[in-house]
Structure 1
């Protein structure tokens, strides 16, 4: 079984970030057959052998920073020999829903395939069976599309270095390939659990045990990769639930998704209400529409496979809810009332709305709170910045004040926030304004902030 990536720093169902790997001097980039297949796709895609050679050298020397994998995209900051950072991306085609449907059928068609995925393995037979069904999991010639801040039109040394580094990541975490193709592990395995439990032609002692393994994975049970089970969680053994599922009536189907929130009725009838009524009808109409928008989003979340595993968030405070409403862009008179009611100035509400649009209540907490990193987190962040800029010349000088890391002589700042994320800020009009969504790697966030807009 491949080893778990020891440097993995963040895991959600739609993003995985891996710490920068150490230099790879004196060793190959891929030991597994799927890592080697990835490299073949790279080397068959690139037009210039010299760029590949320079990319290999960059990767061997440890010039590739933290690697972030999302559906269809891999991102990292790659440094030139003089320390100049470049944001580099490699794009891979995501599989359409029809291909995922075929792949799910292939996996559930044989218990061994599902067991291998649970064991963090990618067996050749699964790839072959998927290919026979018309689904190509591994990238082929021309599928690795480069994008780099150096403006190269083909693979440059930076995207080549990133691609070589990804082969090492895939060696250790092959299921990252599924995320790159468009599906996160937990969502995929949860759907496989449902299908495995519903297979009528399989023996419970075979497929039921595998379904139990998926259940343990999905709920956070400890496995060989080191994931921990929440203590004293009540429940039913998965094998028992599988057997009971064969005799219990099926659950009703989920309702279909709603395409858009409904519009509330017009209360004023087109004319302003009498002043003695004491009710701002326009504001009431806006609140009704805002409630419809929120209900639509809540319903969409409830219909996702991950909903049952995600605990509900705490209710919004009045001050947070005022920002949520203002982010819906009401007319100026209503926005002014929201600012006053939440104890903010009009400009303060605009700053809060910008933060909300970048990251909801977490981004708002970063703007208006102070999340002080631990000594360990601060040391790790400094090391990441030093790694991204190994030479003192060109490395940004940082002035640290709690969770605020300001680049000396520049109008840019990072703020440390919940879940160890770094949020970018710019100095505008005499105040610090949110400038984007968060990044797991402070060096990546800094490089993006310092890129000319």
Structure 2
């Protein structure tokens, strides 16, 4: 299939470039997204507009086998950087044997007249603008656009494939590209609008100009009619002055210029103060321990600040830790044995128990510590899933004999054990004398985890 005769955009800019392809009166706009990691175990689309995109693909493709192959390619991370420009999305997709094909999917661009109607619809509602700025596609905007004859979301036959493998329909390569683009759309609906012909900055500038023009129209009319009444279309405010509608004021406020860049974060946290002075501390107060805690607090605060001021402004505080969990976290970096001994006593552990706990923490933080120290019994549904996963992991004649207790499966006659975390991951454990010790990082595959446990148990290396 080709885009000829369908109004599709055609510029073939270099993959990964920031420049533009010529196409359309508003061409020159192009975005390239780095290759996404594999999507194992997660849905390709969480949002309703992302699912609508995939429905258009699945309704268009004639061969379900090709779709499934494309989904596997996308899950495996075989799709390279994705370039989005008006009328076209492009990526290089690799087969399992390493052969690479360039895949393109063409999407019809909206005409200038259609974009004018879209801008009118968006400017009519401050809620539409606010939702778009919050990276959401408001359903009412799509419905209003459809009522005005504008199809923002693609439908059957709207995703036209072109691939270097010369398939005439959607092949695994163009299907994989579409599945990957669904993940991009989930995060930013402006990707869809770029395919339709306009980039984010262009749209926001046009919406701002339209909102400002509407807000200033009443004052330009003279403010009042010949009888002293407020001009038509304006509301009389305090003192009889003409006003501006709340919707226009709200929309204009959302389209203010961006804030200045945040300050630059220091390359490293500051040095903690030295507490070793000529004055003796109060009984029970240890200056070295306080310096250690201050240094730790400064490092954590610096990490949170770097995350907060970095791209996306994400929080890095993570889950709340109990005092017993935080004692283990501190013990991992404890500089002195006597501080570690105090942490063990303060958290109700023996030195040997704290040593095991720190080994677990290094493998997976609080989740690994929970698997070590807490016992739980999965409910019926979780046990069924675990049983199915164990059955799938080995052939019938190779499956080891496993004895279960709660969420722990011990390989009979060996020094290996599997522990199931509440998140569904399997943790390898090996026997060290009379105790079980964490033997390695978790895995979704119980066979891999058990192999790690048996290898560690055989060598006696539980570190």
Partner of 2:323: 318
Q: Is the 8 A contact 2:332 2:362 kept in 1?
A: yes
Change over 3 Å in CA distance of 1:32–1:432 after alignment to 2: same
Partner of 2:300: 294
| Alignment length (residue pairs) | 291
d(CA) in 2 for partners of 1:354 and 1:387? 30
Match of 2:268 among 260, 266, 271: 260
- Kindly report which structure 2 residues correspond to 1:69-88, keeping only aligned pairs within 5 A, or say none: 69=76
The alignment status of 1:31 with 2:66, answered yes or no, reads yes
d(CA) in 1 for partners of 2:450 and 2:176? 27
d(CA) in 1 for partners of 2:99 and 2:172? 16
d(CA) in 2 for partners of 1:257 and 1:332? 33
Change over 3 Å in CA distance of 1:315–1:199 after alignment to 2: same
Partner of 1:138: 93
Cα deviation, residue 414, structure 1: 1.8
d(CA) in 2 for partners of 1:297 and 1:412? 37
Change over 3 Å in CA distance of 1:422–1:350 after alignment to 2: same
Cα deviation, residue 260, structure 1: 3.2
- Kindly report which structure 2 residues correspond to 1:11-410, keeping only aligned pairs within 5 A, or say none: 16-18=39-41, 31-32=66-67, 35=70, 69=76, 106-107=83-84, 109-110=85-86, 125-127=88-90, 137-139=92-94, 174=177, 189=188, 197-200=200-203, 243-244=251-252, 247-268=255-276, 274=280, 278-303=284-309, 313-391=318-396, 393-410=397-414
Change over 3 Å in CA distance of 1:273–1:380 after alignment to 2: same
d(CA) in 2 for partners of 1:247 and 1:15? 36
d(CA) in 2 for partners of 1:343 and 1:172? 56
Cα deviation, residue 366, structure 1: 1.7
Change over 3 Å in CA distance of 1:416–1:240 after alignment to 2: farther
Change over 3 Å in CA distance of 1:173–1:441 after alignment to 2: farther
d(CA) in 1 for partners of 2:451 and 2:443? 11
Change over 3 Å in CA distance of 1:386–1:247 after alignment to 2: closer
Q: Is the 8 A contact 1:34 1:138 kept in 2?
A: no
Q: TM-score, normalised by structure 1?
A: 0.52
Question: Secondary structure, in 3 states, of the residue corresponding to 1:361?
Answer: helix
Partner of 1:430: 434
Between 1 and 2, higher relative CO (CA 8 Å, sep ≥ 6) is seen in 1
| Bigger radius of gyration | 2
